[in-house]
Structure 1
Amino acid sequence: MKPLLATFAALALTACVAGPVGNPNPPQPAKAVDLDRYVGRWYEVARYDMRFEKGCEGVTAEYSQRPDGLIRVVNTCRQGAVDGPVKVSEGKAKVADASTNAKLKVSFFGPFFGDYWVLDHADDYSWSIVGEGSGRYLWLLSRQVPTQADRAALTARARALGYDVSLLRPTKQPAP
Protein backbone atom coordinates (compact mmCIF):
# COMPACT_ATOMS: atom_id res chain seq x y z
CA MET A 1 0.00 0.00 0.00
CA LYS A 2 2.83 2.44 0.79
CA PRO A 3 4.37 2.24 -2.74
CA LEU A 4 0.96 3.07 -4.22
CA LEU A 5 0.62 6.03 -1.86
CA ALA A 6 4.09 7.25 -2.85
CA THR A 7 3.16 6.99 -6.54
CA PHE A 8 0.01 9.08 -6.01
CA ALA A 9 2.03 11.63 -4.02
CA ALA A 10 4.58 11.90 -6.85
CA LEU A 11 1.82 12.37 -9.44
CA ALA A 12 0.12 15.02 -7.30
CA LEU A 13 3.43 16.84 -6.84
CA THR A 14 4.07 16.76 -10.59
CA ALA A 15 0.62 18.24 -11.23
CA CYS A 16 1.29 21.03 -8.74
CA VAL A 17 4.66 22.12 -10.16
CA ALA A 18 3.97 21.60 -13.84
CA GLY A 19 3.16 24.61 -15.94
CA PRO A 20 1.22 24.97 -19.18
CA VAL A 21 1.96 22.63 -22.05
CA GLY A 22 4.30 24.53 -24.35
CA ASN A 23 4.46 21.75 -26.91
CA PRO A 24 1.61 19.22 -27.12
CA ASN A 25 3.82 16.97 -29.30
CA PRO A 26 7.34 17.21 -27.91
CA PRO A 27 9.98 15.79 -30.22
CA GLN A 28 12.24 12.87 -29.46
CA PRO A 29 15.91 13.80 -29.01
CA ALA A 30 17.49 14.71 -32.35
CA LYS A 31 20.83 12.97 -31.83
CA ALA A 32 22.95 10.95 -29.46
CA VAL A 33 24.77 12.60 -26.56
CA ASP A 34 28.41 12.00 -25.66
CA LEU A 35 28.18 12.35 -21.89
CA ASP A 36 31.93 13.04 -21.59
CA ARG A 37 31.39 16.12 -23.78
CA TYR A 38 28.08 17.09 -22.15
CA VAL A 39 29.43 17.29 -18.60
CA GLY A 40 30.68 20.66 -17.37
CA ARG A 41 29.05 24.04 -16.79
CA TRP A 42 25.99 25.28 -18.66
CA TYR A 43 24.42 28.75 -18.43
CA GLU A 44 20.65 28.96 -18.60
CA VAL A 45 19.61 31.18 -21.52
CA ALA A 46 15.84 30.85 -21.02
CA ARG A 47 13.29 28.46 -19.51
CA TYR A 48 9.65 27.71 -19.06
CA ASP A 49 9.18 29.20 -15.62
CA MET A 50 8.36 26.72 -12.88
CA ARG A 51 7.64 27.16 -9.20
CA PHE A 52 10.94 25.56 -8.19
CA GLU A 53 12.84 28.18 -10.23
CA LYS A 54 10.73 31.27 -9.42
CA GLY A 55 12.85 34.38 -9.10
CA CYS A 56 16.05 32.65 -10.20
CA GLU A 57 18.61 34.61 -12.20
CA GLY A 58 22.22 33.80 -13.02
CA VAL A 59 21.25 30.14 -13.28
CA THR A 60 23.93 27.57 -14.04
CA ALA A 61 23.96 23.79 -14.13
CA GLU A 62 27.13 21.82 -13.52
CA TYR A 63 27.27 18.16 -14.53
CA SER A 64 30.07 15.75 -13.60
CA GLN A 65 30.63 12.00 -13.71
CA ARG A 66 30.31 10.17 -10.39
CA PRO A 67 32.33 7.07 -9.48
CA ASP A 68 29.11 5.00 -9.33
CA GLY A 69 28.29 5.72 -12.98
CA LEU A 70 25.63 8.31 -12.24
CA ILE A 71 25.97 12.01 -13.07
CA ARG A 72 26.25 14.63 -10.34
CA VAL A 73 23.96 17.61 -11.00
CA VAL A 74 24.52 20.94 -9.25
CA ASN A 75 22.05 23.71 -10.12
CA THR A 76 22.85 27.19 -8.86
CA CYS A 77 20.57 30.20 -8.94
CA ARG A 78 20.78 33.75 -7.65
CA GLN A 79 17.54 34.63 -5.91
CA GLY A 80 15.91 37.78 -7.31
CA ALA A 81 18.90 39.22 -9.22
CA VAL A 82 22.21 38.19 -10.79
CA ASP A 83 23.94 39.32 -7.59
CA GLY A 84 21.25 37.98 -5.22
CA PRO A 85 21.66 35.28 -2.58
CA VAL A 86 22.90 31.94 -3.91
CA LYS A 87 20.59 28.92 -3.86
CA VAL A 88 22.15 25.54 -4.71
CA SER A 89 20.34 22.28 -5.45
CA GLU A 90 22.32 19.07 -5.79
CA GLY A 91 20.96 15.97 -7.46
CA LYS A 92 21.85 12.99 -9.55
CA ALA A 93 21.02 11.73 -13.00
CA LYS A 94 21.03 8.32 -14.59
CA VAL A 95 20.86 7.35 -18.24
CA ALA A 96 17.38 6.17 -19.22
CA ASP A 97 18.18 5.33 -22.86
CA ALA A 98 21.65 3.82 -23.23
CA SER A 99 21.36 3.65 -27.03
CA THR A 100 21.63 7.46 -27.33
CA ASN A 101 22.35 8.82 -23.80
CA ALA A 102 19.93 11.61 -24.75
CA LYS A 103 17.23 10.62 -22.23
CA LEU A 104 18.12 10.79 -18.57
CA LYS A 105 16.25 10.62 -15.29
CA VAL A 106 17.13 13.33 -12.74
CA SER A 107 16.40 13.40 -9.02
CA PHE A 108 16.85 16.21 -6.51
CA PHE A 109 15.03 14.55 -3.64
CA GLY A 110 14.53 10.97 -2.54
CA PRO A 111 13.53 8.25 -4.95
CA PHE A 112 11.63 10.62 -7.28
CA PHE A 113 13.11 10.99 -10.77
CA GLY A 114 11.95 13.24 -13.59
CA ASP A 115 12.69 13.10 -17.29
CA TYR A 116 15.57 15.14 -18.71
CA TRP A 117 15.79 14.85 -22.49
CA VAL A 118 18.57 16.50 -24.45
CA LEU A 119 16.32 17.36 -27.39
CA ASP A 120 19.08 18.92 -29.48
CA HIS A 121 22.62 20.17 -29.09
CA ALA A 122 25.36 21.77 -31.14
CA ASP A 123 27.89 19.38 -32.63
CA ASP A 124 30.56 21.15 -30.55
CA TYR A 125 28.34 21.10 -27.43
CA SER A 126 28.24 24.91 -27.26
CA TRP A 127 24.44 24.90 -26.76
CA SER A 128 21.74 22.47 -25.75
CA ILE A 129 17.94 22.37 -25.64
CA VAL A 130 16.46 20.28 -22.83
CA GLY A 131 12.87 19.19 -22.30
CA GLU A 132 10.86 16.04 -21.63
CA GLY A 133 7.84 14.09 -22.83
CA SER A 134 4.99 16.24 -21.49
CA GLY A 135 5.98 19.48 -23.26
CA ARG A 136 5.69 21.41 -19.96
CA TYR A 137 9.41 21.89 -19.33
CA LEU A 138 11.99 23.54 -21.54
CA TRP A 139 15.47 24.92 -20.92
CA LEU A 140 17.78 26.61 -23.40
CA LEU A 141 21.42 26.24 -22.32
CA SER A 142 24.76 27.65 -23.46
CA ARG A 143 28.37 26.95 -22.50
CA GLN A 144 29.01 30.69 -22.19
CA VAL A 145 27.09 33.66 -20.86
CA PRO A 146 24.65 34.08 -23.75
CA THR A 147 24.68 37.00 -26.15
CA GLN A 148 21.52 38.37 -27.75
CA ALA A 149 22.46 36.45 -30.90
CA ASP A 150 22.73 33.22 -28.85
CA ARG A 151 19.30 33.87 -27.34
CA ALA A 152 17.74 34.53 -30.72
CA ALA A 153 19.28 31.44 -32.33
CA LEU A 154 18.25 29.11 -29.49
CA THR A 155 14.75 30.57 -29.37
CA ALA A 156 14.39 30.02 -33.13
CA ARG A 157 15.58 26.41 -32.75
CA ALA A 158 13.05 25.81 -29.92
CA ARG A 159 10.29 27.27 -32.14
CA ALA A 160 11.36 24.92 -34.96
CA LEU A 161 11.02 21.99 -32.52
CA GLY A 162 7.38 23.01 -31.97
CA TYR A 163 7.67 24.89 -28.66
CA ASP A 164 5.60 27.95 -27.79
CA VAL A 165 8.46 30.40 -27.33
CA SER A 166 6.11 33.05 -25.91
CA LEU A 167 6.23 30.98 -22.69
CA LEU A 168 10.02 31.30 -22.47
CA ARG A 169 11.39 33.41 -19.63
CA PRO A 170 14.84 34.81 -20.48
CA THR A 171 17.34 34.24 -17.67
CA LYS A 172 19.48 37.22 -16.69
CA GLN A 173 23.16 36.35 -16.46
CA PRO A 174 26.01 38.47 -15.07
CA ALA A 175 28.11 40.35 -17.61
CA PRO A 176 31.07 38.24 -18.76
Structure 2
Amino acid sequence: MMNISKRLILMTLLATLIPACASKQLAKIETVPQVDLPKFMGDWYVIAAIPTSIETESYNAIENYRLKDDGTIATTFTFNKGSLNGPKKTYEPHGFVVKDSGNAKWGMQFIWPIKAEYLIAYLDENYTQTVIARNARDYVWIMARSPSISESDYKKLTSLVQNLGYNTSKLREVPHNK
Protein backbone atom coordinates (compact mmCIF):
# COMPACT_ATOMS: atom_id res chain seq x y z
CA MET A 1 0.00 0.00 0.00
CA MET A 2 1.21 3.46 -0.86
CA ASN A 3 1.44 5.97 1.97
CA ILE A 4 -0.20 9.39 1.67
CA SER A 5 3.00 11.36 0.98
CA LYS A 6 3.98 9.02 -1.89
CA ARG A 7 0.48 9.31 -3.33
CA LEU A 8 0.65 13.08 -3.09
CA ILE A 9 4.04 13.14 -4.86
CA LEU A 10 2.73 10.80 -7.60
CA MET A 11 -0.42 12.89 -8.12
CA THR A 12 1.65 16.10 -8.26
CA LEU A 13 3.99 14.50 -10.80
CA LEU A 14 1.07 13.33 -12.96
CA ALA A 15 -0.61 16.73 -12.74
CA THR A 16 2.63 18.29 -13.98
CA LEU A 17 3.30 15.80 -16.79
CA ILE A 18 -0.18 15.43 -18.30
CA PRO A 19 -0.43 19.04 -19.54
CA ALA A 20 3.10 18.78 -20.94
CA CYS A 21 1.99 15.81 -23.06
CA ALA A 22 -0.99 17.65 -24.53
CA SER A 23 -0.50 18.96 -28.03
CA LYS A 24 0.17 22.66 -28.39
CA GLN A 25 -2.99 24.47 -29.50
CA LEU A 26 -2.14 27.01 -32.19
CA ALA A 27 -3.98 30.29 -32.35
CA LYS A 28 -6.52 30.75 -35.12
CA ILE A 29 -5.02 32.25 -38.26
CA GLU A 30 -5.91 35.89 -38.71
CA THR A 31 -7.15 36.79 -42.16
CA VAL A 32 -6.75 40.09 -43.94
CA PRO A 33 -9.48 42.52 -42.84
CA GLN A 34 -11.09 43.01 -46.25
CA VAL A 35 -10.84 41.53 -49.75
CA ASP A 36 -12.18 43.34 -52.81
CA LEU A 37 -13.54 40.23 -54.53
CA PRO A 38 -13.64 41.59 -58.11
CA LYS A 39 -10.01 42.70 -57.71
CA PHE A 40 -9.03 39.26 -56.33
CA MET A 41 -10.54 37.40 -59.29
CA GLY A 42 -8.38 36.12 -62.16
CA ASP A 43 -5.27 33.99 -62.42
CA TRP A 44 -2.99 33.25 -59.46
CA TYR A 45 0.20 31.23 -60.06
CA VAL A 46 1.06 28.82 -57.27
CA ILE A 47 4.64 29.74 -56.36
CA ALA A 48 4.99 27.29 -53.48
CA ALA A 49 2.71 25.10 -51.38
CA ILE A 50 2.49 22.54 -48.69
CA PRO A 51 0.52 20.53 -51.21
CA THR A 52 -2.60 18.43 -51.05
CA SER A 53 -2.29 14.88 -52.39
CA ILE A 54 -3.36 15.97 -55.91
CA GLU A 55 -0.63 18.66 -56.04
CA THR A 56 2.49 16.76 -55.01
CA GLU A 57 3.68 16.52 -58.63
CA SER A 58 2.19 19.76 -59.96
CA TYR A 59 3.96 22.02 -62.43
CA ASN A 60 2.60 25.23 -63.99
CA ALA A 61 -0.09 25.33 -61.30
CA ILE A 62 -2.61 28.14 -61.74
CA GLU A 63 -5.69 28.89 -59.69
CA ASN A 64 -8.31 30.98 -61.53
CA TYR A 65 -11.23 32.62 -59.74
CA ARG A 66 -14.38 34.04 -61.32
CA LEU A 67 -17.11 35.76 -59.30
CA LYS A 68 -20.52 34.38 -60.19
CA ASP A 69 -23.78 36.33 -60.07
CA ASP A 70 -24.89 34.40 -56.97
CA GLY A 71 -21.78 35.51 -55.04
CA THR A 72 -19.99 32.16 -55.21
CA ILE A 73 -16.56 31.76 -56.76
CA ALA A 74 -16.12 29.58 -59.84
CA THR A 75 -12.63 28.15 -59.48
CA THR A 76 -10.48 26.40 -62.05
CA PHE A 77 -7.25 24.80 -60.84
CA THR A 78 -4.97 23.60 -63.65
CA PHE A 79 -1.50 22.10 -63.63
CA ASN A 80 0.75 19.71 -65.50
CA LYS A 81 1.30 16.47 -63.63
CA GLY A 82 4.83 15.14 -63.17
CA SER A 83 6.74 17.62 -65.33
CA LEU A 84 6.55 21.00 -67.04
CA ASN A 85 5.10 19.28 -70.11
CA GLY A 86 3.23 16.51 -68.33
CA PRO A 87 -0.46 15.76 -68.82
CA LYS A 88 -2.75 18.66 -67.95
CA LYS A 89 -5.07 18.20 -64.98
CA THR A 90 -8.05 20.42 -64.23
CA TYR A 91 -10.19 20.66 -61.11
CA GLU A 92 -13.19 22.94 -60.70
CA PRO A 93 -14.10 23.45 -57.05
CA HIS A 94 -16.50 26.16 -55.97
CA GLY A 95 -15.70 28.84 -53.43
CA PHE A 96 -18.25 30.11 -50.92
CA VAL A 97 -17.48 33.36 -49.11
CA VAL A 98 -18.15 33.19 -45.38
CA LYS A 99 -20.61 35.90 -44.35
CA ASP A 100 -19.18 38.78 -42.30
CA SER A 101 -15.56 37.72 -42.95
CA GLY A 102 -14.55 40.71 -45.05
CA ASN A 103 -14.52 38.22 -47.96
CA ALA A 104 -11.29 36.75 -46.53
CA LYS A 105 -12.69 33.39 -45.39
CA TRP A 106 -14.07 30.93 -47.89
CA GLY A 107 -15.25 27.37 -47.98
CA MET A 108 -13.74 25.60 -51.00
CA GLN A 109 -15.86 22.69 -52.18
CA PHE A 110 -14.32 19.96 -54.32
CA ILE A 111 -16.91 17.35 -53.33
CA TRP A 112 -20.39 18.06 -52.02
CA PRO A 113 -21.11 18.62 -49.13
CA ILE A 114 -17.55 19.14 -47.82
CA LYS A 115 -16.21 22.70 -47.80
CA ALA A 116 -12.51 22.98 -47.03
CA GLU A 117 -11.31 26.01 -45.11
CA TYR A 118 -9.66 28.69 -47.27
CA LEU A 119 -8.22 31.68 -45.39
CA ILE A 120 -6.67 34.69 -47.11
CA ALA A 121 -3.95 35.25 -44.53
CA TYR A 122 -1.92 37.72 -46.58
CA LEU A 123 -2.71 39.90 -49.57
CA ASP A 124 -0.50 42.75 -50.71
CA GLU A 125 -2.14 46.09 -51.42
CA ASN A 126 -1.74 45.68 -55.20
CA TYR A 127 -3.35 42.23 -55.22
CA THR A 128 -0.23 40.68 -56.75
CA GLN A 129 0.79 38.26 -53.96
CA THR A 130 -1.25 36.24 -51.50
CA VAL A 131 -0.95 33.49 -48.92
CA ILE A 132 -3.86 31.09 -48.48
CA ALA A 133 -3.80 29.18 -45.20
CA ARG A 134 -5.78 26.78 -43.00
CA ASN A 135 -6.08 26.65 -39.22
CA ALA A 136 -5.08 22.97 -39.32
CA ARG A 137 -1.68 24.05 -40.70
CA ASP A 138 -1.84 21.09 -43.08
CA TYR A 139 -1.82 22.97 -46.40
CA VAL A 140 -0.73 26.45 -47.47
CA TRP A 141 -0.31 28.22 -50.80
CA ILE A 142 1.92 31.14 -51.76
CA MET A 143 0.53 32.62 -54.96
CA ALA A 144 1.28 35.54 -57.27
CA ARG A 145 -0.09 37.12 -60.43
CA SER A 146 3.09 36.11 -62.27
CA PRO A 147 4.81 32.69 -62.48
CA SER A 148 7.81 33.90 -60.47
CA ILE A 149 8.60 36.36 -57.69
CA SER A 150 11.85 37.86 -56.45
CA GLU A 151 13.97 35.93 -53.97
CA SER A 152 13.40 38.64 -51.35
CA ASP A 153 9.60 38.41 -51.78
CA TYR A 154 9.81 34.61 -51.56
CA LYS A 155 11.79 34.83 -48.32
CA LYS A 156 9.32 37.37 -46.89
CA LEU A 157 6.34 35.15 -47.74
CA THR A 158 7.93 31.94 -46.46
CA SER A 159 8.81 33.76 -43.23
CA LEU A 160 5.16 34.84 -42.96
CA VAL A 161 4.08 31.22 -43.49
CA GLN A 162 6.47 30.09 -40.76
CA ASN A 163 5.11 32.78 -38.41
CA LEU A 164 1.62 31.39 -39.04
CA GLY A 165 2.80 28.14 -37.43
CA TYR A 166 3.65 26.06 -40.50
CA ASN A 167 6.66 23.78 -40.91
CA THR A 168 8.23 25.48 -43.94
CA SER A 169 10.49 22.50 -44.63
CA LYS A 170 7.35 20.96 -46.16
CA LEU A 171 6.98 23.80 -48.69
CA ARG A 172 7.38 22.72 -52.29
CA GLU A 173 8.32 25.32 -54.87
CA VAL A 174 6.14 24.85 -57.95
CA PRO A 175 8.09 25.07 -61.23
CA HIS A 176 6.54 27.08 -64.07
CA ASN A 177 7.34 27.47 -67.77
CA LYS A 178 8.45 31.05 -68.18
* Pairwise CA distance, 1:135: 1.2
Where do residues 131-142 of structure 1 align in structure 2 (5 Å cutoff)? Answer: 131-142=133-144
* Uncovered stretches (5+) of structure 1, i.e. residues with no partner: 1-22
Indicate yes or no: 2:170 matched with 1:171: no
* Pairwise CA distance, 1:24: 3.9
Deviating runs (4+, > 6 A) in structure 1? none
Q: Is the 8 A contact 2:137 2:165 kept in 1?
A: no
Match of 1:107, SS state, is strand
Matched residue type, 2:65: Y
Match of 2:161, SS state, is helix
CA distance in 2, matches of 1:96, 1:144: 27
Indicate yes or no: 2:157 matched with 1:154: yes
1:83 corresponds to which residue? 85
Percent identity, aligned pairs only, is 25
Indicate yes or no: 2:2 matched with 1:28: no
* Uncovered stretches (5+) of structure 2, i.e. residues with no partner: 1-24
Q: Is the 8 A contact 1:25 1:135 kept in 2?
A: no
1:48 corresponds to which residue? 50
Matched residue type, 1:169: R
Where do residues 8-157 of structure 1 align in structure 2 (5 Å cutoff)? Answer: 24-149=26-151, 150-157=153-160
Which entry has the higher C-alpha Rg, 1 or 2? 2
Q: Is the 8 A contact 1:26 1:135 kept in 2?
A: no
How many residue pairs end up in the alignment?
153
CA distance in 1, matches of 2:130, 2:101: 19
Matched residue type, 2:148: P
Match of 2:39, SS state, is helix
Matched residue type, 1:163: Y
Q: Is the 8 A contact 1:26 1:162 kept in 2?
A: no
Post-superposition Cα deviations, 1:43-71, rounded to whole Å, max 9, x if no partner, equal 00111122121211110000001122211
CA distance in 1, matches of 2:56, 2:161: 21
Q: Is the 8 A contact 1:41 1:60 kept in 2?
A: yes
Question: What TM-score do the two structures reach when normalised by structure 2?
Answer: 0.79
CA distance in 1, matches of 2:46, 2:123: 14
Which structure ranks higher in relative contact order (CA pairs < 8 Å, sequence separation ≥ 6)? 1
CA RMSD for the aligned pairs? Answer: 1.7
